[in-house]
Amino acid sequence: MRITCPLCGPRDRREVYYYGSDDYLTLPEGQDFDAIDAHLHLRDNPAGVLRDLWYHEAGCTSWLAVTRNTVTHEVLDVALVEGAGSGILAKMKPQGDAL
Ligand SMILES: [Zn+2]
């Protein structure tokens, strides 16, 4: 699978770290722990078009919102995540050595 980073161009999937659903971008405020836990961890697993978060770990270190079809593996859209340098995404940055 190839993902076209808006900043780096087409890249092999192995350069990009899969994080999970884009639900992490809409963390509910003012909810109790159980509601936040359910929002982040209890989800459906539908077949078809999904929008997920990926981190271009071996490239520009940008957070990407990737829209793809899980049935055909077609990547439909890749967009930079606005405001990814702060907030919850800054805390979720994968640890470890990049290249
Ligand atoms: Zn990139």
What are the residue ranges spanned by the domains of the chain? Answer: 2-92
pLDDT tier, 28 (very low <50, low <70, confident <90, very high otherwise): confident
Per-residue model confidence as pLDDT tens digits over 44-96: 888 999 999 999 999 999 999 999 999 999 999 999 998 765 555 666 655 55
Instruction: Give the Cα separation of 13 and 74 in Å (integer).
Output: 13
Provide the residue count of the chain: 99
Distance 58 CA to ligand 1 centre (A): 8
Confidence at 23, pLDDT banded by 50, 70, 90:
confident
Q: Provide CB contacts within 8 A for 92, sequence distance 6+.
A: 19, 24
* Residue 50 contacts residue 67 (beta carbons within 8 Å): yes
Q: How far is the CA of 64 from the centre of ligand 1 (A)?
A: 8
Distance 13 CA to ligand 1 centre (A): 11
Q: Name the nearest CA neighbour of 66 among 16, 15, 26.
A: 16
Residue type, 30: G
The residue ranking higher by pLDDT, 61 or 25, is: 61
Closest CA to 99 of 16, 18, 20, 10: 16
Q: In the CATH scheme, what architecture does the domain 2-92 have?
A: 2-Layer Sandwich (3.30)
- Identify the band that residue 20 occupies on the pLDDT scale cut at 50, 70 and 90: confident
Q: Identify the pLDDT of residue 98.
A: 46
pLDDT for 38: 85
Report CA(3)–ligand 1 centroid distance (Å): 9
Residue 25 has pLDDT above 60, yes or no: yes
